[in-house]
Structure 1
Amino acid sequence: METLFWSCLAGGILFAVVSVVLGDLVSHALDGLLDFLSVDFLKPMVIASAVTVFGGAGILLTHYTSWSNAAVVLISAVLAIVIAALVFFFYVKPMNNSENSTAYSIRELSGRIGEVTIPIPESGFGEVMIKLGAGNTVHIASSLERCVLAAGTRIVVVDVHDGVLRVTKLDEKRGDVV
């Protein structure tokens, strides 16, 4: 029985080390192969913590108590389930809920104010920079009214057509479009 406990402890520790070092590589290599097993509480961290606690508790209970093997296995399993539940509810679930995305859709840029970085000719394309979140993003743009917009001109995005921002000059005095 002690061999089982040592194997679980070593396997859990090995899984933790491998997942830290090679986690992304294995994830990309499998490319969603095991997604059908995806149950909310069967996360690798939860399973690894349960296996590791089962092995560690089994070793400790075998060495420091005179309980029977059945009692040691039962108590180790209960401890593993309790610790796995704690890991899930106090670490995994809050971390999943806190994930934020910095992604945006180009369609969300309508109405945003920006600045021309590469001049926009009457019937051609230039480039505009728009502040988005904590950073800036640059996009190809064309003039909605087909007028020249020089570099440094403040603009507002009116529309997006085929990935190109359609912009117009912003009236600095009134704060709206010309």
Structure 2
Amino acid sequence: MEYVYVTIFFVGVIYTAATFILGNLFDFLNLSGEVLNFLHLDTHVNIDINGVDNSNGAMTISPFKPLVIVSFLTVFGGVGMIGTHAKLNPIITFFLAFILAYLIAAILYKFILIPLYRAQNTSSVMQKEIIGMRAVVLSPILEESFGQISYVINGSRQNAPAKSIDGKSVSQGQDVIIREIKDGIFYVEALKNNNLSIKEKN
């Protein structure tokens, strides 16, 4: 049984290390995080690709996420190894390892994954509200380069890095329309006439 615990423990450790190393490597090489999707396979039983269960009409994040599963395996294997070396009863060791692993996985799910998912979801909703709004260029947007815009949402003025959606330069003080937000960059279109679709949030 000790070999089982050792195997389970190192599966969790190796997966964590591989994800961390490859994640930083791809970030360094400026490659898309989607390349690592093969390391983040979710259980698909009425669950979409983001791990969101829509089967009952409610949107809830699935507990079968890699972080939760790997945490369970690592703690289960580690506690099992400790219990085995301490010469504890195998049955007691098994249940102790299972209970502790379950508690750690549940804590990560409730206090880390769910808050992160809600924050991400809120951010997505906010972006949808911002797209189509009018903004003003604070610093010139050079051709095929970046500048800065200012916009007002819910009575609060915000600044953001921006790039012209058609690659053309936009002068300082010119009104623009926010057309897309990608990787934190606001892609805008110069406002030349009143026929453009404008949405303002004051």
CA distance in 2, matches of 1:59, 1:136: 51
Cα separation, 2, equivalents of 1:14 and 1:31: 12
Instruction: Find the counterpart in structure 1 of residue 196 from structure 2.
Output: none
Q: How far apart are the structure 1 equivalents of 2:9 and 2:21? A: 19
Please name the residue that 1:109 is paired with: 133
2:36 is matched with: 26
Q: Aligned equivalents of 1:32 and 1:55: distance in 2?
A: 21
Identical aligned residues as a percent: 23
Residue in structure 1 matching 2:71, options 49, 64, 71: 49
The answer on 1:76 being equivalent to 2:84 is no
How many residue pairs get aligned? The number is: 144
User: Hey, what's the Cα distance between the residues in 2 that align with 1:51 and 1:134?
Assistant: 44
TM-score, normalising length from structure 1? 0.61
Partner Cα distance (1:105, 1:84) in 2: 35
Q: Which of 182, 191, 194 is residue 166 of structure 1 equivalent to?
A: 191
Aligned match for 1:36, one of 44, 48, 53: 44
How far does residue 80 in structure 1 lie from its aligned partner after superposition?
0.9
Cα deviation for residue 36 of structure 1 reads 2.4
Question: How many Å separate the matches in 1 of 2:19 and 2:92?
Answer: 32
Kept in 2, the 8 Å contact 1:58–1:73? The answer is yes
* 2:2 equivalent in structure 1: 2
Structure 1 residues 91, 70: CA separation in 2 closer, same or farther (over 3 Å shift)? same
Structure 1 counterpart SS, 2:44: helix
* Contact 1:129–1:139, Cα closer than 8 Å, also in 2: no
Query: Structure 2 unaligned runs (5+)?
Result: 24-32, 46-50, 54-61, 142-146, 152-157, 180-187, 194-202
Q: In the alignment, what sits opposite 2:160?
A: 135
Give the structure with higher Rg (CA): 1
- Matched position secondary structure for 1:41: coil
CA distance in 2, matches of 1:31, 1:65: 36
Equivalent pair of 2:40/2:66 in contact (CA under 8 Å):
no
What CA RMSD, in Å, does the superposition of the two structures yield over aligned residues?
3.8
